[in-house]
């Protein structure tokens, strides 16, 4: 990842190796297992001395008490390490998808389908697209075209170059959000490890230990994420984690996401918070909820053609799996106290900023769609430009927005 204030480039992303995070996660998991086995072995050995009547009295009781104390302390460390393993594994897919999206957009810009003999566009490291070689080639064949044809084809080249450039820059922006979410997630997972380690105290006397931190969660407490990212992540609707979304972070609220981060927003918590998800499931289905939300948006002045129902359905599928009660409880947004919620995975502050009057319940699927759609249009210009929608339309995998 680049330093503060330095924009991410295509060569930067090409050098990403997310599989190394997977290798690190495996090593971290082994460390946790080895620690558990070592502590359990010591506890059992100490207990067996008493059971075999090889050791007794106050000293034996003190030794067994000390081992039980260390077992509890070591368990906190082990659980915190597992939390780090989970964070690492979640970011692998987020980063892979972000990298794939950038390279795919770059490759599409440089691909020239047969039978065209025109040269490809040049894509600069910063994602800008230079059409000059193709324009020069067109000028060389000027004699084969009349004035109108030449003017039209010149305009087409400029338009195509701009379209590719916008797609690449969006993918780079998404990749940067995913990378930031990955760093935040790993740094966040390190905090309970430090706290648990501080709770170990002196290795000889056991004295001086800080109060043990609560064990780090090894799995999501509720419906699962991604991605990301804003961003990440991977389509799954079973409630298992994958990524970070990145509207703060990519993820799937009831599925996985992604890029991490966490969808929608990523800032503080302006306005009221909505609390936990309701226990009852609203009536209706995704198609009905989208239709109702579209009508509300049209009444607010949005052109009907700007409300792409298929794009909304795609986002819902990957962000929550269609679960209006989905909540992401493990990414950096959640750690900051504002988890992504609902059908399209909004954080409270973003939902409050984009909710329509009279539609202010984040757990109401129609209200959630209205706010998330308004956010998407405000941020990306259209639903078709939402990174995940754009990626799927281009033949790639979904990325959290």
Q: According to the model, what pLDDT value does residue 61 have?
A: 66
**Span 300-307, average pLDDT:** 89
Question: Which tens digits make up the pLDDT trace of 98-130?
Answer: 898 899 899 999 998 888 889 999 999 999 999
Q: According to the model, what pLDDT value does residue 57 have?
A: 63
Cα-to-chain-centroid distance, residue 383: 19
Mean pLDDT of the chain: 73
**Per mean pLDDT, which range of 210-224, 250-264, 318-332 is the poorest?**
250-264
**Per mean pLDDT, which range of 236-245, 330-339, 356-365, 389-398 is the poorest?**
236-245
pLDDT at 289 over 80: yes
**Per mean pLDDT, which range of 52-56, 147-151, 233-237, 310-314 is the poorest?**
233-237
Cα-to-chain-centroid distance, residue 156: 36
- Give residue 23's pLDDT band: very low, low, confident or very high (50, 70, 90): confident
Residue 61 in tokens: 């009781």
Q: According to the model, what pLDDT value does residue 183 have?
A: 82
**Span 383-398, average pLDDT:** 87
Q: Is residue 120 within 8 Å of residue 111, measured between CB atoms?
A: yes
pLDDT at 223 over 50: no
**Span 38-49, average pLDDT:** 65
Q: pLDDT above 70 covers what percent of the chain?
A: 59
Q: pLDDT above 90 covers what percent of the chain?
A: 29
Find, among 296, 288, 353, the residue nearest to 316 by Cα: 288
Find, among 96, 128, 101, 129, the residue nearest to 393 by Cα: 101
- Give residue 358's pLDDT band: very low, low, confident or very high (50, 70, 90): confident
Higher pLDDT, 16 or 81: 16
pLDDT at 59 over 50: yes
**Span 224-249, average pLDDT:** 30
pLDDT at 285 over 60: yes
SS (H, E, C) 237-263: CCCCCCCCEECCEECCCCCCCECCECC
Find, among 65, 79, 66, 63, the residue nearest to 29 by Cα: 79
User: What distance in Å separates the CA atoms of residue 125 and residue 181, rounded to the nearest whole number?
Assistant: 23
pLDDT at 293 over 90: yes
Higher pLDDT, 9 or 275: 9
- The whole-model pTM stands at 0.43
- Provide the 8-state DSSP code for 230: B
* Domain residue ranges of the chain, discontinuous segments joined by +: 10-105+186-198
| Rounded to 5°, angle at Cα 389 from 383 and 392 | 160
- How many angstroms separate the Cα of 131 from the Cα of each of 68, 123, 159? 70, 9, 10
User: What distance in Å separates the CA atoms of residue 86 and residue 218, rounded to the nearest whole number?
Assistant: 6
pLDDT at 258 over 60: no
Residue 79 in tokens: 């659980």
**Span 200-225, average pLDDT:** 43
pLDDT at 263 over 50: no
Region at 260 (left for phi over 0; alpha for psi -120 to 50; beta for the rest): left
Q: According to the model, what pLDDT value does residue 246 have?
A: 26
Q: According to the model, what pLDDT value does residue 252 have?
A: 35
Question: Which tens digits make up the pLDDT trace of 366-388?
Answer: 999 999 999 899 888 899 989 88
Considering 52-56, 89-93, 264-268, the range whose residues carry the highest mean pLDDT is 89-93
Q: According to the model, what pLDDT value does residue 349 have?
A: 80
**Span 5-33, average pLDDT:** 78
pLDDT at 362 over 80: yes
């Amino acid at each position: 990842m680049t330093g503060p204030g330095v924009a991410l480039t295509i060569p930067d992303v090409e050098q990403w190796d997310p599989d190394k995070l997977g290798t690190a996660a495996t090593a971290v998991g082994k460390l946790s297992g080895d620690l558990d086995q070592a502590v359990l072995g010591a506890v059992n050995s100490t207990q067996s001395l008493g059971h075999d009547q090889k050791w007794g009295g106050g000293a034996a009781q003190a030794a067994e008490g000390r081992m039980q104390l260390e077992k509890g302390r070591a368990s906190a460390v082990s659980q915190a390490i597992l939390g780090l393993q989970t964070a690492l594994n979640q970011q692998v897919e987020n980063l892979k998808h972000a990298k794939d999206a950038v390279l795919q957009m770059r490759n599409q810009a440089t691909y020239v389908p047969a039978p065209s003999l025109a040269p490809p566009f040049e894509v600069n490291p910063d994602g800008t697209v230079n059409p000059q070689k193709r324009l020069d080639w067109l000028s060389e064949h000027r004699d084969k075209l009349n004035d109108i044809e030449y003017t039209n084809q010149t305009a087409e080249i400029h338009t195509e170059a701009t379209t590719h450039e916008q797609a690449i820059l969006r993918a780079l922006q998404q990749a940067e959000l995913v990378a930031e979410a990955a760093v935040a997630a790993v740094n966040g997972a390190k905090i309970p490890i430090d706290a648990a380690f501080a709770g170990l105290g002196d290795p000889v006397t056991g004295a001086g230990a800080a109060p043990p931190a609560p064990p780090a969660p090894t799995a999501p407490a509720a419906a699962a994420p991604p991605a990301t990212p804003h961003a990440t992540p991977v389509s799954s609707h079973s409630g298992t984690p994958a990524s970070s979304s990145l509207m703060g972070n990519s993820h799937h609220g009831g599925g996985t996401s992604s890029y991490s981060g966490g969808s929608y927003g990523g800032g503080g918590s302006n306005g009221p918070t909505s609390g936990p998800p309701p226990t009852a499931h609203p009536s209706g289905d995704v198609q009905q909820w989208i239709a109702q939300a579209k009508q509300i948006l049209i009444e607010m002045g949005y052109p009907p053609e700007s409300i792409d129902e298929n794009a909304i359905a795609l986002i819902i599928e990957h962000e929550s799996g269609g679960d209006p009660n989905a909540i992401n409880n493990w990414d950096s947004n959640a750690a900051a106290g504002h988890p992504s919620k609902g059908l399209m995975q909004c954080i409270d502050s973003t939902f409050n900023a984009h909710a329509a009057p009279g539609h202010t319940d984040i757990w109401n699927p129609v209200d959630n769609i209205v706010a998330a759609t308004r956010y998407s249009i405000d941020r990306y210009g259209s639903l078709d430009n939402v990174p995940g929608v754009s990626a799927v339309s281009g033949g790639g995998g979904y990325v959290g927005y």
